[in-house]
Structure 1
């Protein structure tokens, strides 16, 4: 086969390949829906894993949907270790496809270049380059003059510098899809084109789980053990028909093609100028592909149904919308004019509510796996995502920490069309927006809030959003607009949060923690199920709480939560805000035919917490009979009424100070809050926000799901062995006993920075005698410690484990903006 090239008159390239005729089966082990780059990659990896009776279904022709008009760039470095591993796998796979399958994927290892046209952007690129070392991606910080080596036509007058990534490259998207499909077919996968999947078929179990058992097509039904949905922007409508939420929605995405430009060579790196929202790369004939990610984009107005006949199609050119980006291209690349352009490409692409793609089993389903919502990075992600999709299915769960892309992170309302259309208009632009620490979404806000929202607003709160909840991040002084001024150094709320922390540490504070997810789990078998799922002993006396982890068979974390035993067979469960669907799904799927039921009561209860040395005195003033002055035992529970509503008071704390969480029915929330404020007025009680809570929990070394706790870590590595009851059986126990016997290779460590002026934000490299041994999982300025504090997992660079002596006798540093700062290291917190 002759080499196919990208030319100004054939780009985007339509792949031409004849698929052998295949009879539509009545039964398959796996049905993959969607023949784009993702579906082909998944099919390829099923073949490599030796799976038989696998069918890939495409409603039109392979690569004819979103894939064919993709830019084709393969950048390796992502925002997390796991997502970077996904993209690295893509690059490795694409590089070997031609030799392996005999079909040219168009891989070219041309490298990648990111430009900085401001000091703030250079800070971000320096952070990115530092983490590249941790993630095993080669990255080099270069000067504006060095950038000219790769693009002589570059205007460097306003550049501060750049980062060059030699391992990046590009493919021909359609040809890469055909190459993957060829490899799949060589491994026994059957590909059927021109078959439209119209519905998912399923039955519901007694526990409320949808068991997907196949698909209904325009050519008959196919029963299947597994249905893998890889149809990108078509997935949502199939899910809606079955009552399954798959929150993706298409936006218009533009690029233009130029005729050959003098001086442009095909080996020039794929380049991004994020401050202007631009990307550009060379074609094989010396032409250019000039694209953009504007701050706000236009959703494709197709209602809830993407046309099935939209194949190898594009939308109408939109020069007015591309006017500003094109002017920026002409500024950045000397010699580009409007007359250089020969083609305008406007193609819809699927985006998710948070700019991370989607993988996994939708909540309360079995036999269904989703892989899509690529946010315009499908070519870069899909090769590796196919590998981890098959691993996930084979192993009954993710094999590394892919929580950031797990579909169970989304709440049903996030699949609403109005919400999605507004949100994805912002998400497209996030590709090149500044990755500020704590950056908040601006669209689709105000969806969920506690009963205290208006009170917080009146107290000058600045709100952030998690899982749709509006949460008070901090309280600005009166007369100052509560708006964050983002920075990589210290943000404008720094001193206000210091005051909030001091109030809680030295006196008393009131917190709104209503966004915790909450369930009632009850039934004759409820205790046995919890004993099986949880590492700690749940069989405690009534009105006691238990902190526990939930683990998978590998002994790594699925979640951590608090369980309150309300009666012999009834349990009140409290877990993280972002875990609402994931934990509910995990517990529900383990009920089976046993006698137990779980109910989500997240929005039925608010949580008002009173924390600090004077918390007991405030609550004594509130109700002296329930809260006598003498300290209560940690984990104890007390009940009382307010406005005829029962309040559950839990003696727990996530900030490391004496305190109580008061779980109150929504109707009585404001009355309780006002009563606490009145009772604490003499002590100077004040509200504090989530930034203060975060700083205090990091100061105390309290672990958090999604940071220190994930499917990559065990409780032993996290230093939470005390919360395991070894005398009972539970999921993951065998793996933990084995690790206990073999010894720990990595440990979670607390750090305190020597330099008091530097603010850490998390995800910074950790060095042991100059060698990178890990990165910070959480970090913050610690007001009590007087310097930045952090946590992170490290490995001994000399092999073996990590001991206290190792921490005491060696030098540790944390890297920020390419500078290494000395830090103290300890297994215990510094506060």
Structure 2
């Protein structure tokens, strides 16, 4: 089937065979869009039997059928790019495999830049594309116009062409996947609506999903896969499970055939104007937009069940500005050329990444959806890796950025979602600035020190809902972020803060750490199994350790403090609260011998760090005989707290863990005590810079489900004499050696400013990319961490890295860098 101006969007015509309705199944897939069909196809390809897909209407009748159908490969991370590359490979193979044409056409992709900053972003993207194995070339405005002769390029300063990109017919692609699944034994049931999730709770509080109730009866199942996109949230709500997606209106128009446009014209994006446009088979065009602010579909908490092959009313007033921008870019197109207005709701998440995995505290349930208008491009590969995830009991690559457990319950509230998704839709084409902050749904969480930070003129940034000081603006200067890929306005303030900590004493608010208490007669046994480090230490001792999975890769890293013979205090990353709680919960013994309590909100952390830290602390309480890596209870100015001698910034000092309602008092006492020493509050950027200078790792950057402690250079934090989850794999790797290795690089030149996400070259060849980077005021140049490997996947020794010649690619230039054990 072709796409023409008079049949677009294409409504696929297909009738599934009349399969007997089951009472039980191994797999039940809920949702017959491209994601659900992709899951069915990949389960079948992997040899799974007794797989049933349920669709409440017809295949592809929800958000799939009206999708634009563009398939771009390049994403913001290596893992997400692998997902999209897998989509293109899948779609290119479907016709030969299934006999049904998905409409795949490798017409290429084109992205335009009409300002200097956008060109810098495209240069960064093109450089990373080479690392990720995606062909991309920077081209001139005149070369951009060769693809669309009517393109106005007076305000275009460059572009990037990606020849491997393409498009499909979304409905036909779904049918091809469904046919391929059925040919391998999957049963597809149309016209069957799922009305609820069958479930019960076990003694640990985990919700076990045992099947579904439907309009034709109940089905028990080993696994339920929710792939119903914007319908998933209401099914989750009914079962007390958070699936934070919400629909927004998304507009495009269809034109008659336009002179100079062919079916092979590339799928194009003009992000500075928020536009995309692509050709139809007859030379017509789809002209779409992602405005900075969009309209949530006002449906309360339930998408209509009968919204099948549905569209919303055209909204020309809302589309007037984008359409005018299209007419500016593609000269000669007018309103008279438009033959159809498509207003289709699509599901968006709070952070513009899709949802994948098992929700917090559930078993037997897997979620795949919330596509943020990129479902066609992502779903084919995502469904492949989702099946691997289910088969292997965990991620087969680092998919932490899409793991549904990154969200917390408040992010599933309707008011929060409606406000946030109105912004998220526009993020597709907004600049990917370093430290880019969301503007909506703010002010949700804060430490007990928030008012102090405001009084000190803090520039606030948000992580997991927490408002945190990025840096403190000088008195009289309005706090805010001036975005650029070069030097941002707040960086001089943060650099002064870093130097204050290195040379004197600083005050840090680290309250957003996630914190748990694990206790009971089985607590030690559990933590010894989950942690690579030895947790059987004296009371008061701290242990830095990784949480490993069966593959020997990181689920998290954290500090464990033994507070009593059967009690432990766990401190982990801000963004790890839900993931770590879920990991602990799912490994609790059924005998009730361990209890875990989340105390994140109740306890704040005020840290005093720097060479003069103990001079400030000594008058307040006894800090003598207080070795590094130990903890004790103390009272400061009548405030009870737990002091921990540990540091994430590489300078001496103490973390003071205190009840939230007493944190402000403690802060004030410390400011007074530190006054003679010039104590200075510092924000999160200074903290991050300080940890990068010391080559300290951070989960989500250097550590993930794709790395082992040996690759990360953290073998010293593993106790090889005890048993723990993943040990067998790690022992084998220790014997064989590693094929990728984390290194720290310091640029030779002082000027280039690194942010992270820049390609690393080893002896002139692409070898990896930076995972974290910052300009170091201590060294007067940029410092970066990143993983490197050889193209032949050879074993890497420390000596081979030390002898290598390294450079970092930035804006078209290679900047030489030296590998160091630690930067400072």
For Structure 1 versus Structure 2, the TM-score category normalised by the shorter chain is over 0.9
- Residue 797 of structure 1 deviates from its aligned partner by 4.5
Alignment of 1:77-92 (within 5 A): 77-92=74-89
Q: Where does residue 390 of structure 1 map in the other structure?
A: 387
Equivalents in 1 of 2:54, 2:300: separation in Å?
Answer: 24
- How far residue 754 of structure 1 moved from its aligned partner, in angstroms, is 1.0
CA distance in 2 between partners of 1:299 and 1:366 (Å): 31
Alpha-carbon separation, structure 2, partners of 1:440 and 1:306? 29
Q: Does 1:627 align with 2:601?
A: no
Structure 1 residues 617-651: Cα deviation after superposition (integer angstroms, max 9, x where no partner): 1111222xx223x6x31111121125755200110
What CA distance in whole angstroms lies between the structure 1 residues aligned with 2:636 and 2:222? 52
User: Are positions 1:380 and 2:377 aligned together?
Assistant: yes
- 1:667 and 1:79 map into 2 onto residues whose CA distance is 40
Matched, 1:537 2:531: no
The aligned residue for residue 822 of structure 2 is 829
Question: Distance in 2 between the 1:319 and 1:385 partners?
Answer: 34
Secondary structure of the 1:553 match is: coil
Q: Indicate conservation of the 8 Å contact 1:718/1:748, yes or no.
A: yes
Shift of 1:18: 1.5
CA contact (8 A) 2:701 2:772 kept: yes
Partner in structure 1 of residue 804 of structure 2: 810
Is residue 2:22 matched to residue 1:28?
no
For the residue of structure 1 that corresponds to 2:735, the secondary structure is: helix
Greater CA drift, 320-329 or 814-823: 814-823
Q: Is the 8 A contact 2:126 2:160 kept in 1?
A: yes
Say whether residues 1:70 and 2:67 are aligned partners: yes
How far 1:801 sits from its partner (Å)? 2.8
Is residue 742 of structure 2 the alignment partner of residue 745 of structure 1? no
2:737–2:796 Cα contact (<8 Å) kept = no
Deviations 1:780-816 (A, max 9, x none): 1011111000011111346533334433433210001
Aligned-pair CA distance for 1:825: 1.1
Q: Is 1:589 matched up with 2:586?
A: yes
Contact (CA 8 Å) 2:762, 2:804: kept in 1 or not? yes
Kept in 2, the 8 Å contact 1:647–1:662? The answer is yes
Alpha-carbon separation, structure 2, partners of 1:636 and 1:523? 22
**What residue is the counterpart of 1:208 in the other structure?**
205
Conserved in 2, the CA contact under 8 Å of 1:212 and 1:227? yes
Q: Distance in 1 between matches of 2:266 and 2:567?
A: 60
Q: Displacement of 1:315 after TM fit?
A: 0.2
SS, match of residue 491 in structure 1: coil
CA distance in 2, matches of 1:397, 1:177: 26
Deviations 1:639-671 (A, max 9, x none): 112575520011010000001110001121111
Which shifted more, 778-787 or 635-644? 635-644
1:796 aligns with 2:790: yes
Residues 409-808 of structure 1: matches in 2 within 5 Å? 409-594=406-591, 595-623=593-621, 626-628=622-624, 632-642=626-636, 645-797=639-791, 800-808=794-802
| C-alpha contact (below 8 Å) 1:768/1:797 kept by paired residues | no
* Deviation (angstroms), 1:427: 0.3
SS of aligned partner of 1:182: helix
- 1:799 and 1:79 mapped to 2: Cα distance? 24
Q: Deviations over 1:319-369 (max 9, x none)?
A: 000000000000000110010100000000000000000000001000000
Looking at structure 2, the residues matched to 232 and 31 of structure 1 have their Cα atoms a distance apart, in angstroms, of 15
Partner SS for 1:61: coil
Q: Partner of 1:67: helix, strand, or coil?
A: coil
CA distance in 2, matches of 1:268, 1:679: 68
Tell me how far apart the structure 2 counterparts of residues 608 and 808 of structure 1 sit (CA, whole Å). 38
The CA distance in 2 between the partners of 1:270 and 1:389, in whole Å, is 27
Cα distance in 2 between the residues matched to 1:635 and 1:327? 62
User: Contact conserved, 2:713 with 2:742, CA < 8 A, in 1?
Assistant: yes
* Structure-2 separation of matches of 1:65 and 1:559: 37
Query: What CA distance in whole angstroms lies between the structure 2 residues aligned with 1:401 and 1:365?
Result: 21
- 8 Å contact kept, 1:643–1:668: no
Q: Are the counterparts in 1 of residues 620 and 636 from structure 2 also a CA contact under 8 Å?
A: no
Note the alpha carbon deviations across 1:727-749, whole angstroms, 9 max, x for none: 11100100000101111111110
Structure 2 Cα separation of the partners of residues 591 and 808 of structure 1: 43
**Please, which runs of 5 or more residues in structure 1 have no aligned partner?**
none
Q: Structure 1 runs of 4+ off > 4 angstroms?
A: 642-645
Deviates more, 1:16-25 or 1:505-514: 16-25
- Distance, in Å, in 2 between the alignment partners of 1:566 and 1:304 is 44
Cα distance in 1 for residues equivalent to 2:522 and 2:439: 44
Unaligned runs of 5+ in 2: none
CA contact (8 A) 1:642 1:671 kept: no
Aligned mates of 1:799, 1:670 — CA distance in 2: 52
Distance in 2 (alpha carbons) for counterparts of 1:193 and 1:807: 57
8 Å Cα contact 1:553-1:732 kept in structure 2: yes
Q: Please give the alpha-carbon distance, in whole angstroms, between the structure 2 residues aligned to 1:800 and 1:745.
A: 6
- Between the aligned partners of 1:290 and 1:800, the Cα distance in structure 2 is 48
Distance 1:809 1:220 in 2: 67
Distance 2:485 2:477 in 1: 22
RMSD of aligned residue pairs (Cα, Å): 0.9
Structure 1 residue 559 displacement after superposition: 0.3
Q: Distance in 2 between matches of 1:383 and 1:593?
A: 38
Question: More deviation in 797-806 or 606-615?
Answer: 797-806
Structure-1 residue corresponding to 2:396: 399
Which residues in structure 2 correspond to 1:68-217 (within 5 Å)?
A: 68-217=65-214
Contact residue 642 and residue 668 of structure 1 kept, 8 A: no
Change (3 A) 1:799 1:30: closer
- Shift in Å at residue 138 of structure 1? 0.3
Cα distance in 1 for partners of 2:791, 2:169 equals 40
Is the contact made by 2:514 and 2:573 (CA closer than 8 Å) also made in structure 1?
A: yes
